[in-house]
A and B are shown apart, each in its own frame.
Chain A
Amino acid sequence: MLMKFKHIKYLSTRIFWLAGVLFAFILLLLIFASILAVQGYIDIVYVFIGYTLMGLLLFAYYKWIYEPYRENAKILRLFAAGYTIDALFDRHITLSPEMDEVIQKVQEIMETYEILNATKKQAHYLALQNQINPHFLYNTLEGIRGETLSAGLDNVAKMTEALATFFRYTISNVENLVTLEDELKNVNNYYIIQQYRFGERLSLSVEYDAQDEIEIMSCRVPKLILQPIVENAIYHGIEQKIGEGKVRIKIECTTKRLIITVSDNGVGMTEEKLQEINDKLRGMPLDYIKPENEKHGGIAITNVNSRIKLLFGEEYGICIYSTLNVGTDVELTLPKITERDQAFYEK
């Protein structure tokens, strides 16, 4: 009771109390009118009309006020819990014009943060590019490769070539979307480099419906979304496992979506850890705009998830299934973007 009285400070509680009192009052009036009608003082038709009107009023109250309020409250709760951002800006009925303005302002602020953040990231890329001077790097690696080839060290040459190609892909062309084929080639380069470390212990396979190969390979995806996940699978899954490690990339394509599953048979993770990561991934990319996250630097799963959600909306992203000592499946859901749609998304 005390708790309920505490809630009286909220306008919503006051409105509900007042509406309750009002309806109780009308009901009392109607009961009184019914008694009078039974005694023959007033016509029963008026009482019937009264009850009908009250029913309509209750229905309107439920549909116009209670239901939208409940939906609004739910969205605000989910926003507070970090589950959604989009829904906050996408409400059909709002509490008041002022509240509407406040939410618009929040949206603007968040967008500014996002732009700032994106700019910062781009600046980091540029700084990195300037520091390294890609052409110098590629030329050096090519030089090493030539030297090793002439020395008969084929393996080192192959590894250097993979490293050069990997850097070329990672550092250059700071564009948003690339073809899935390019992304897979980069993963393969990364795999070649890792093979020198893991040898026969590591295997990578890519599976898709051969009939849809051309369509699948030409799909556009954000750059560097697969390699970080494969890297995670190797470092957090397979490296700590005894025995053969397998990484499998499965690609499925529907009329509207691209579903990529990266599976490993590594050590997996505990249910608590999995819940923690999935909770992080399920929400909107608020973490992405938190400055402390920049400390971690590296492109990890949360970063890939944030990029997907920021680019395409919160219905896309990453979901992880994992079991301790069994392995981990990372499922990426992306919109199916063809060459024609690319310009729209990059804009």
Chain B
Amino acid sequence: MKNEILRMEHITVAQNEMVLLNDFNLHIFQSEIIGLVCINTNGQDAILRLLSQNIPIQYGRVYFNEKLVNSYQHGPMTMNKVAIIEQKSRLIENLTVVDNVYVMRFGFKKYLINPRVLEEQLRRFTQDADIDLDGNRLVSSLTAYEKCVTELLRAIVMGAKLIAIREISNVLSTTDLLKFHSLLRYYRDQGFSFVYICSHHEEAFKVCDRVAIMRDGKILRVLDKDQFNNDNVAPYYIGEFAKVKREGLSVTSDKGILTFKDVCTEHMRSLTFTIVKGESTVLLDMDNAVVQDIVGLMNGQLHQHSGEIYLKNKPYTQKLAKHALKYGVAFIQENPILTMLFPDMSYLTNLCFLVDKKRNPVQLSKRVINSIVQEYEPIIGNDIYETDIMKLKLQSLYDLVYYRIHLCKPDIVFCIQPFANADMYLRRHIVELINQLKKQGATIVILATNIADSLAVADKLIVVSKGTFQAEYPRDEFYLFNSESIIL
């Protein structure tokens, strides 16, 4: 007989006349990892809010441990024993792991704290779960994985009945994610329950016991473990990607546009690879170690200890890299809406931001701007005239980021984790935007720590592990990653 930890029944939550959760039903048993695969992000925040606190709802009931804790009749505003782990850490950076796990939690009432006792208690936990984590380290010095583990330990120590994990694959590398999954399985077997919220069914299938597919705050289907296959998800999920047309190679050439030859940095160990002109290459960094170093080397913020980098068969030095765009190298950062846009500037000013820094720079005159408007208005539409870009939809903001790069006509574009934090509709849109760049003749390098949907636009996959080249897969071998990503 199963113990029901949580049951959400016919939940309807609306805010400002917008329905966030629509007849939402979900039940979670003890010792279970249930996946919540969100086709779009609508309703995600509302679920997490509702899980942790019994806030007023329009309709429905919430049972926690088989007890009615919230209903449409009365929202008592009480807290539930739920912990949430997400990309943005909730830990206090200037405190140690032990302090974060034991001291900074509800119900801790001691006035005199003996750090050695706490360390010993933590040691027992880490030993049991086979976790390699020093309790005395400051949280600010931890890696993303270690932060996630600390948060998990805090939730376990706190006695959380249910732990919600949201979109952590964006911050964890493939190797770290696998380790974190095995930790979740360990604690699941200890009687803890988890809600694993993510956008990729492949990721959920690896760790979950059941998977619920959600769209627009509504559960579409719940799949049991024996139903975990792409065919069952295809109608909701992959079907959207089927509409995307794959862009072929823009230039059929075997010439390498970028070559790393025995490059060593703090994290790279004799990294060697070649990016072929016109190809889209996914550079999968299994340990999340070299992505930042590659970006640093390409934009001139970092200098290699040894080895050579060649761009279009010419040495690419740190001096040249400092003017990367001038040499046809462009970057699309992770979470570009936050990192690449200027909210105070108009759409057009944002769009033209790099034209005077590109290879053939042009001074921004009225005539040039008019010509840009004429060229991009048919593609972008009326959004191009928007003065307050914050009024625009997310997809339009992504258009702005990608067309800004498109306008510079770069030879090679580095996209850093382009699919992080994007729901399925946005991911599909990003695929189309990358294809636009490809069509223009740009070589695309996707720097990723997990495959996600990168293979949907890739021609080649290069796997880097522990700072060194591990393997290279051409497109016809992508079937090996069928369970990891959507492949067009």
A residues touching B (Cβ–Cβ < 8 Å)?
Answer: 71, 74-75, 78, 83-84, 87, 90-91, 209, 212, 215, 250, 252-257, 259, 278, 282, 315, 319, 321, 323-326, 329, 331, 333
- B9 contacts across to A, CB distance below 8 A: 315, 333
Besides A71-B74, A78-B59, 19 new A-B residue pairs in contact (Cβ under 8 A), listed by A number: A71-B73, A74-B72, A87-B73, A209-B1, A250-B224, A252-B2, A253-B2, A254-B3, A254-B29, A255-B3, A255-B4, A256-B66, A257-B4, A257-B7, A282-B10, A315-B9, A315-B61, A321-B219, A326-B232
Q: How far in angstroms is the closest Cβ of chain A from B189?
A: 17
> Which B residue's beta carbon lies closest to that of A68?
B74
Q: B72 to A319, Cβ gap below 8 A?
A: no
Q: A331 to B25, Cβ gap below 8 A?
A: yes
Q: A256 to B4, Cβ gap below 8 A?
A: yes
Of all A-B residue pairs in the complex, the 4 with the closest CB atoms, nearest first, are: A254-B4, A326-B235, A256-B66, A254-B2
Q: How far in angstroms is the closest Cβ of chain B from A9?
A: 25
- B7 contacts across to A, CB distance below 8 A: 257
B residues touching A (Cβ–Cβ < 8 Å)?
Answer: 1-4, 7, 9-10, 23, 25, 27, 29, 59, 61, 66, 72-74, 219-222, 224, 232, 235-236
Q: How far is the CA of A344 from the CA of B231 in the complex (A)?
A: 46
Q: How far is the CA of A323 from the CA of B3 in the complex (A)?
A: 29
> Which B residue's beta carbon lies closest to that of A212?
B1
- B2 contacts across to A, CB distance below 8 A: 209, 252-254
Q: How far is the CA of A323 from the CA of B59 in the complex (A)?
A: 24
Q: How far is the CA of A74 from the CA of B73 in the complex (A)?
A: 8
- A84 contacts across to B, CB distance below 8 A: 72
Q: How far in angstroms is the closest Cβ of chain B from A284?
A: 12
- B221 contacts across to A, CB distance below 8 A: 321, 323, 326, 329
- A87 contacts across to B, CB distance below 8 A: 72-73
Are A255 and B222 CB-contacts (below 8 A) given A71-B74, A87-B73?
A: no
Q: How far is the CA of A84 from the CA of B59 in the complex (A)?
A: 10
Q: A259 to B27, Cβ gap below 8 A?
A: yes
Are A78 and B72 CB-contacts (below 8 A) given A254-B66, A282-B23, A325-B235?
A: yes
> Which B residue's beta carbon lies closest to that of A278?
B23
Q: A83 to B73, Cβ gap below 8 A?
A: no
Q: How far is the CA of A87 from the CA of B333 in the complex (A)?
A: 52
Q: A255 to B10, Cβ gap below 8 A?
A: no
Q: B220 to A323, Cβ gap below 8 A?
A: yes
Q: A215 to B10, Cβ gap below 8 A?
A: no
> Which A residue's beta carbon lies closest to that of B61?
A315
- B74 contacts across to A, CB distance below 8 A: 71
Q: A319 to B25, Cβ gap below 8 A?
A: yes
Q: How far is the CA of A325 from the CA of B236 in the complex (A)?
A: 11
Are A323 and B236 CB-contacts (below 8 A) given A329-B221, A331-B25?
A: yes
Q: How far in angstroms is the closest Cβ of chain B from A210?
A: 12
Q: How far in angstroms is the closest Cβ of chain B from A95?
A: 15
Q: How far is the CA of A250 from the CA of B222 in the complex (A)?
A: 12
Q: How far in angstroms is the closest Cβ of chain B from A233?
A: 15
Q: How far is the CA of A315 from the CA of B7 in the complex (A)?
A: 11
- B23 contacts across to A, CB distance below 8 A: 278, 282, 319
22 A-B interface contacts by CB (under 8 A): A74-B72, A75-B73, A78-B59, A83-B59, A87-B72, A209-B1, A212-B1, A253-B2, A254-B29, A254-B66, A255-B1, A257-B4, A257-B7, A257-B66, A259-B27, A278-B23, A282-B23, A315-B61, A319-B23, A319-B25, A321-B221, A321-B222
Q: How far is the CA of A255 from the CA of B63 in the complex (A)?
A: 13
Q: How far in angstroms is the closest Cβ of chain A from B112?
A: 38
Question: Residue among B2, B7, B72, B73 with the most chain A CB within 10 A?
Answer: B73
Q: How far is the CA of A78 from the CA of B14 in the complex (A)?
A: 14
- B1 contacts across to A, CB distance below 8 A: 209, 212, 215, 253-255
> Which B residue's beta carbon lies closest to that of A253?
B1
Q: How far is the CA of A99 from the CA of B23 in the complex (A)?
A: 31
